[in-house]
Every structure is written in C-alpha cells, then in structure tokens.
Amino acid sequence: MTDPQIALMMLGIFIACVFLGFPIAFTLMALGIGFGYYAYFDVGRMWRAFNRLAEDASWWESARLWLEGYFNNRIFDLFVNQTYTVISNEVLTAIPLFLFMGYIVERANIVDKLFGTLALATRNIPGSMGVAALITCALFATATGIVGAVVTLMGLLALPQMLKARYDHSFASGIICAGGTLGILIPPSIMLIVYAAASGVSIVRLYAAALLPGFTLVGLYLVYIIGRSILNPKLAPKPTKEELPEVPTGQMVWMLITSFLPLAILILAVLGSILFGLATPTEAASIGALGGMILAVAYRAMTFQRLRESVYLTVRTTAMVCWLFVGSYTFSAVFSYLGGERVIAEFVQGLDITPIQFLIIAQLIIFLLGWPLEWSEIIIIFVPIFLPLLPFFGIDPLFFGVLVALNLQTSFLTPPMAMSAYYLKGISPPQIKLTEIFSGVLPYCFMVLIAMVLMYQFPQIVFALPDAFYGPSR
C-alpha cells in the first residue's frame, strides 16, 4: 500500500471506531501514534546506538539500548510538541474562564426570575410565554454556551409554566430546545473559540461576524412563534389574570432592573470589551467569571458546594476539549505527512465544482456528522479537513466558520440524534412524548436553513460588523 492509501485507511479506522463508541480523544491519539510510528520509522536513527553495542555488553545494557531505540521515533517528539502547543495556546485559555462564568450563572438562580419577569412583560404579545422562554434561553445560552445546561434548566423552569398555561406540548418543547442551542452561535461562544484555535481566524473578528447571524436566527424564531400563535391561538392560549397577574408599571420596571439588567450588563461588558478592543478574549472571560461570582453573591446563591461543582465541571469540560485538540493535532499531522490531506484536496479540486456547490457539500457533510458527533469533535477533527480547500474556492474562513456555527444548531435539533430533545425528555413530565418534542424542533431546523440561505445571498450579514469595527480583511 502507498502512504496516501494508508492515510485513508487511518481515517476509515477512526470513523469506524467513532461509530463503535470508542472515546474520541484517545482514539485519535492511539491512531496518531500507531500510524505515526510507521510514518516516521527511521532505522538509522532508532537503532544507531544499539548497533554499536559491544559484544561483551551485559543483557541489561542490551535491553536498555533496545528499548531506547524502540522509543526513539519522531512520533513521540511530535506528540509531546503538540501537547505543549495546545496547553500554551493563548486562545484556548479563555475556554475555562467562559465555562466557569456559565456554570456559576447557571447556579445563581437568575434564570427563574428572568423568565417570570419577561413572561409578565410580554403578556399582551401572542405566544407571550413562548417569546419570554426564547428570550430567556437566548440570554442564558449566551452567558453559558452550554446547550445541555440551558435546555435542562429551562425545561425545569419554563416548560411546566407553559403546560400549565395550556400550551401545545410540541410547540412548547420546540421553543426550549431551539432556544437552548443558541449559545454555540451567539458570542461569547465556546464553539467560536475552538474554531478560531483550529483555523487561525481572529477570535475578535469571528465574534463580531457571528453577532448579526445570531440575532437574525433569534428574529426568525420569534417571527415563527408569534406567527403560529396568531394563526392558531390554541397552540399558545393567552394567559389569564390568574396565571399572569397584571403588575403596575413601576413594579415591572423594578423587576426588569433586578432580573434582566444584571445578566444583560454582564454579557455586554464581556462582549463589548472584546469587540471594542478594551480587552483580549481571555481578559474579558476573566471579567465574566468574576462578574458571574458577583451576581451569584448578589442573588444570595453562592455556596461552597455550588462553587465546587462549577470548578469541577469547568475542569472536566476543559480537559475534554484540550485532549481532543492534542489527539486531533497528532492525528492530522500524521494524516497530512502520509499524504491523506493532499489526496482529499486533489479529489475535491478535480470535481470541478463552484464555490457555492463546495459550500453546500461541506455543510451537508457537517450536518450529517452532527448526528453521531458532538460539535467539539466536528470542529476539532473534521472542519480542519475543509480549511485547506477554502483558498482554492476563494472562501473566507471567517464566513465558513459562521456558516458552520449556524449549521451546528441543527445537530442538536435533527432527529433521530437530536440531543436537545433527549436533554428535555430527561426532565420533562411523563405526558411529554419524545415524538412530540421531535415534531416541535423540526420547524426550527427550517429556520436555520433559511438563515443559511440568507447568509449565502447576503454575505454582508457576516462581514458588516467585523469590517465596520476593524476594517476589511479580504
């Protein structure tokens, strides 16, 4: 077999291991080191010292030199260097800080007050509780970026209230699932940090580029919720005064100030400091982590147990991302050295397709990968396969990254592997069927598709803010 064929076999074995359920990060490392041992095998280097061994040398000396020769392969040097590269990556430093901010905010009892206040403030809008739930999900998802946490917490808080208000099961479930996934698109998003580290795109420009697409998607969701509530009032009946009592204007303003404003200020402070160049993403993340702790103290929700849980979950998630990067970097280096990357590039370039066709094919592949894989695995492992092809088709990696972030919304919403639906089903009342949740999330997949088409047709949705803030880079 030629080296490129071995590289493709390496990729095939990895995909098979993924479907068999092996741990992704350690599978990548094992395949990278195993195939790398073959790729970097150098007899002259490895056995030089052993071959010069004296004839009367002891068995211990012979065994020691043989072991040194066996492990004197450049793949081990590569593995160590890649590990150091990941650990010393300044972009990735922001990940644990943003995660810690999210976990602290999740435990600060902010969300229940926020949802209650927004439900009262929007009571005269069709589908008011759905609108309040989506806005709460968007704000909370932006603060945390952790899909499972948002869907689970909102399922515990908002879903019972909507069911009590006689909302359709499918309609209410879809709102929470769709709103909970927004955190991987709207900055400050952990997913965008990971993409920036994998692609070399400026995280500051990427955050600016993702803002308008994120708000566009939220707007489409709101139009859908209000529109369906107008067309079919039975889906979202108007709440009665017993369910949502009228509140004086002054009291409503005070409730908004104490529930909505603190979280909004925290998010704006973090985002604004990044976008206006007042702080690096890492510095802004540290501000966010401190702000999350202050909010938890202000809401009298800070306890040692909650702090310990937040630290533990932060360390666990950060370690998962870092090991994925280490495995991916090692795997991709060996894959490229064997010529696998060149084979894929030549194959795609030989298809004679247009840039739009390439984007559609790439997004379709990423959409399908979203069924068995998490977004982190797709971004770290598979997206780098497409990145070297972008210059050939004249596609800006910034535009491609926002498209991927938008596309990955569907990976949490598309049956049969819609993780948001399973998160919600795990904590929902028994009368909520999984099929009802699936039918509720499908319309939001079409909203994502509409948003992607809008980006294809009007690329300035992506480029307007980064060009306005930092000047054109193309």
In a structure prediction context, what are the per-residue pLDDT tens digits for the chain, which is 474 residues long?
788 888 889 888 988 887 787 888 888 899 999 998 888 887 766 666 566 665 656 666 667 766 766 777 788 888 888 888 888 877 778 888 888 888 888 777 777 778 878 888 888 888 888 898 898 888 877 777 677 777 887 888 888 888 888 888 899 999 998 888 888 888 888 888 888 888 888 888 998 999 899 989 999 999 999 999 999 988 888 877 766 677 787 877 888 888 778 888 888 888 888 888 888 888 888 888 888 888 888 888 888 888 888 889 888 888 888 888 888 888 888 888 888 878 888 888 788 888 888 888 888 888 888 777 777 778 887 888 888 888 888 889 999 999 998 888 887 787 767 778 888 888 888 888 888 888 888 899 899 999 999 998 899 999 988 988 887 765
Q: Using the 8-state DSSP alphabet, how is residue 373 labeled? A: S
Q: To which residue do tokens 């994120």 refer?
A: 214
Q: 221: closest CA among 152, 148, 136?
A: 136
Angle between helix 304-337 and 94-106 (nearest 10): 140
Query: Which helix or strand (DSSP H or E) is residue 468 part of?
Result: helix 460-470
Residue 251 tokens, joined: 């009291």
pLDDT at 243: 66
pLDDT at 60: 65
Q: Where are the beta strands (DSSP E) in 95-154?
A: none
* Local structure of 42: helix, strand or coil: coil
Position 352, amino acid: D
Query: Burial of 8 by CB count in 10 Å (0-12 exposed, 13-18 middle, 19+ buried)?
Result: middle
Question: Is residue 49 within 8 Å of 68, Cβ to Cβ?
Answer: yes
Checking phi first, is residue 237 left (phi over 0); if not, alpha (psi -120 to 50) or beta?
A: beta
pLDDT at 474: 56
Buried b (16+ CB within 10 A) or exposed e, 259-298: bbebbeebbebbbebbbeeebbbbbbbbbbbebbbebbee
CA distance 437 to 416: 11
Residue 390 tokens, joined: 């972008």
pLDDT at 165: 83
CB-based contacts of 269, cutoff 8 Å, min separation 6: 284, 287, 288, 291
Q: 128: closest CA among 27, 20, 271, 240?
A: 240
Count CA atoms within 13 Å of residue 418 on its CB side. Answer: 30
Rounded to a whole number, what is the largest CA-CA distance in the chain? 98
CA distance 53 to 66: 10
Query: Which helix or strand (DSSP H or E) is residue 322 part of?
Result: helix 304-337
Residue 198 tokens, joined: 């994998």
| H helix count then E strand count, the chain | 25, 0
Position 353, amino acid: I
Please give the distance of CA 135 from its chain centroid, rounded to a whole number: 19
Question: Is residue 102 within 8 Å of 291, Cβ to Cβ?
Answer: no
pLDDT at 223: 93
Question: Is residue 6 within 8 Å of 36, Cβ to Cβ?
Answer: no
242 vs 50, 120, 165, 246, CA distance in Å?
A: 86, 12, 10, 9
CA distance 204 to 273: 10
**Residue 419 main-chain phi, psi, to 5 deg:** -65, -35
Position 389, amino acid: L
Please give the distance of CA 350 from its chain centroid, rounded to a whole number: 32
Count CA atoms within 13 Å of residue 323 on its CB side. Answer: 14
CA distance 398 to 474: 10
Look at the chain and count its residues.
Answer: 474
- Count of Cβ atoms closer than 10 Å to residue 165 Cβ: 19
CA distance 345 to 392: 9
Residue 433 tokens, joined: 């069927």
